[in-house]
Chains A and B, each alone.
Chain A
Amino acid sequence: MSEAAPILAAEAVVAGYDERDVLHGVTLELHPGEFLGIIGPNGSGKSTLIRALTGLLPIRSGRVLFGGEDVAAIPTRALARRLAVVPAVSAPTFAFSVREVVSMGRHPHLGRFTNPGVADERAIDEALELTDLVQLADRAIDTLSSGELQRSVIARALAQQPQVLLLDEPTAHLDIGHQMATFELLVTLSRQQGLAVLCISHDLNLAAEYCSRVALFSVGQVYALGSPHEVVTEQNLRDVYGTLVSVEDNPYSGQPVVLLNRASPPQEEL
């Protein structure tokens, strides 16, 4: 897969806020049809990576290429037709309905003087169905649970019908049923529709179970990149998180599983 041209590529990206650099030369490729998980401790630059990839945060050196073209040179609207982002959710200020929020995903496809047409309505309906929100379509978003709100934001991104989907901890507020449903959906979209998915997750087990590749971040750099078996190892997790865990194989899928191991000896060699 890595021989094919990447749809999104970061080349030695340095970016940050004010005086401080957060990303120190990140190189990463995302290919059509792949589901890349981003894991790493708090403050390791995962969310900053998404801001840099979307052109929201100007990068200080290096390049971000979308389909071979510099992201900074692509107009915001044109980029939003091909790249969708599910940011970390925040409490809504205005009481839009779920359907209104999801239909905002069609914005980059609509001209100033055109109203949403049949194709737009179909994309909205499809996004609502995929995220299990059809029943809630008419509810105001300020009456939703945080999990339902999270799914609305995912639905809005799907309504954009992008080629690339970037998600910042989409399962943070979800119960285990909706966590699995969300990751199943992302796997399906990447495999069947060729969507390139990059997903930040704090849940190592979800990432290891579902993602085709995993990137482990540490202090603004890619510490390890590869298959879940290559990246989610006891050694890597101890190096990056500074904690001792056991990694075993899930007897059902064969993918690595991180087990909490409180009985381990103290972390003297750290």
Chain B
Amino acid sequence: MISQRRISLILISLGVLLVISAIFATGIGGSAVVRPGDVPRVIWHHLGGPMSTSEMLDMIVWQIRLPRIALALLVGASLAVAGTLMQSLFHNPMADPYIVGVSSGAALGAVLAVTLGLQFAFAGFVTRSLFAFIGAVVVTGLVYFMSRRGGRVPIGTLLLTGIAIGGLMSAITSLLLMQWRPDDMRMVIMWLMGSLAGRDWAAVFSLLPYTFIGVTVAVLWRRELNIMALGDETAHHLGVNLERTRMLILVIASMLAAAAVAVSGVIAFIGLIVPHLMRLLVGPNHRQLIPACILGGGLLLIWADVLAQVIIPGAEIPIGIVTSALGCPFFLYLLQRQRV
């Protein structure tokens, strides 16, 4: 077992790494040069201190770069925790919001909300998040109940059910997109591919409550998550109310994935890569796995976003392409090692 001291050390290191990465990432993107020292000064100014940088720099850091980094942290944490919850729910380390089709369901919900012209209600985001949430819950529920075989979820059935339902969701999304004008369609496709570009503080604050609720439930239910990972029958014998707990985890995992999709589109494999790496670092106990996933998810997404901005000079690619490029080989590697 990994000692408590080592776990604390790893969590603190991840936190420090996250702060350094966030400050570094503020210097990336666009042509304006932002030095690491400028970031605390801009933040200080917006906390009520005097302005000690140029107004231009202040605007770039505060209006463009910081919200984007804050969003990367929240989306990364949400997706990583959603993945952890699903892995416990399915008793299977291969479950992930993207792989089981939940992200596609959320994307369909969000596109549907926009297509129906509901995007103006409550500043746009609430309806979109709500529809994304409904899409995600429906898909998670379908995949879960259709892939269960006598209290267990075999990996093959899980993945195939996820592919089938995810495929249907994407097809319906495409059908909806055909109703759109070409310009709007291009915009939505960019969003579907996953992107953090051009998001402001409003986007950050539309995601924050969901991330907060999801993470809080995950922390409070950490013991049930451990026990559920051992299987349904064991969970029942140890006093976990299966029906209620399964439903709660299913809804919370869907909510986290859906809220992330609603603001940043489909960013694949975060829920698979992060929990897996964090288990290697701190072990499978959710008491430390959840905090590690929050930090690790944010860290991975910040760097994926940096890559998305610098990999092609002068252009930016959707972050979903970066995470897929990282996640696909990782997924195949894990699949090779599974005893199916």
Query: Which residues in A have some Cβ–Cβ distance to B below 8 Å?
Result: 51, 54-56, 75-81, 84-85, 87, 90-97, 99-101, 104-105, 107-108, 110, 112-113, 137-140, 156-157, 160
8 other A-B residue contacts (CB within 8 Å) besides A54-B237, A100-B285: A51-B233, A54-B236, A56-B236, A77-B241, A93-B92, A95-B279, A96-B284, A137-B1
Complex CA gap A160/B92 in Å reads: 26
CB of B76, distance to nearest CB on chain A (Å)? 22
A76, A78, A108, most chain B CB atoms within 10 A: A76
Could you list 23 A-B pairs, sorted by A, with CB under 8 Å?
A: A51-B233, A76-B242, A79-B239, A80-B237, A81-B239, A91-B339, A93-B92, A93-B230, A97-B1, A100-B226, A100-B283, A100-B285, A104-B223, A104-B226, A104-B230, A104-B238, A107-B223, A107-B239, A108-B238, A108-B239, A110-B223, A112-B220, A160-B238
Question: Which residues of A have CB within 8 Å of B15?
Answer: none
Q: Does B93 make an interface contact (CB < 8 A)?
A: yes
Q: How far is the CB of B306 from chain A (nearest CB, A)?
A: 32
Check B52 for interface membership: any CB of A closer than 8 A: no
A166 — nearest CB in chain B belongs to which residue?
A: B237
Cβ–Cβ contact B229 & A138, under 8 A: no
CB pair A93 B93 closer than 8 Å: yes
Given contacts A95-B283, A104-B226, A104-B227, contact A138 B238 (CB under 8 A): no
Chain A hits for B226, CB < 8 A: 96, 100, 104
- Measured between beta carbons, the chain A residues less than 8 angstroms from B327 are none
B237/A85 in contact, CB under 8 A: yes
Chain A residues with CB under 8 A of B233:
51, 56, 87
B141 contacts A by Cβ under 8 Å: no
Interface positions of B (Cβ within 8 A of A): 1, 91-93, 220, 223-224, 226-227, 229-231, 233-234, 236-242, 279, 283-285, 339
A100-B239 in contact (CB<8A): no
Q: How far is the CB of B126 from chain A (nearest CB, A)?
A: 29
* A76-B236 in contact (CB<8A): yes
Known: A87-B234, A104-B223, A104-B230. Is A96-B285 also a contact (CB below 8 A)?
Answer: yes
Whether A90 contacts B238 by the Cβ 8 Å rule is: no
Contact of A75 among B231, B234, B241, B279 (CB under 8 A): B241
Residues of chain B within 8 A of A160, CB atoms compared: 238
Shortest 9 CB-CB contacts between residues of A and residues of B: A80-B239, A108-B239, A97-B1, A94-B284, A77-B239, A85-B237, A138-B1, A76-B241, A94-B229
Note all chain A residues with C-beta closer than 8 A to B237. 54, 56, 80, 84-85, 87, 157
Tell me whether B1 and A140 are in contact (CB under 8 A): yes
Q: List chain B residues, Cβ under 8 A from A51.
A: 233
Query: Complex formed: what's the CA distance from A81 to B238 in Å?
Result: 8
Question: Do A107 and B240 touch (CB < 8 A)?
Answer: yes
In whole angstroms, what is the CA distance A56 to B239 when docked? 11
Cα distance A105–B238 when bound, in Å?
Answer: 6
Contacts of B239 in A (CB 8 A): 76-81, 107-108
Nearest CB of chain B from residue A85's CB, rounded to whole Å: 4
Question: What's the nearest-Cβ distance from chain B to residue A89, in Å?
Answer: 10
Complex Cα gap A94–B238 (Å):
17
Closest B residue by C-beta to A96: B284
A74 to chain B: closest CB distance in Å? 11
Closest CB in chain A relative to B154 CB, distance in Å: 12
Minimum C-beta distance from B213 to chain A (A): 16
> From B237, which residue of chain A is reached at the shortest CB distance?
A85
Residues of A within 8 A of B93 (CB): 93-94
CA of A25 to CA of B148, assembled, Å: 29
CB distance from B91 to the nearest CB of A (A): 6
Q: How far is the CA of A100 from the CA of B2 in the complex (A)?
A: 11
Report the Cα distance A110→B240, complex, angstroms.
12
Bound together, the chains give a CA A110 to CA B233 distance in angstroms of 20
Task: For residue A152, give the distance in angstroms from its CB to the closest CB of chain B.
Answer: 11
> Which residues of the other chain, B, contact A94 by a CB distance below 8 angstroms?
93, 229-230, 279, 284
**From A116, which residue of chain B is reached at the shortest CB distance?**
B223
Q: Cβ of A107: which chain B residues have Cβ within 8 Å of it?
A: 223-224, 227, 238-240
Instruction: Enumerate chain B residues within 8 angstroms of A84, measured Cβ to Cβ.
Output: 237
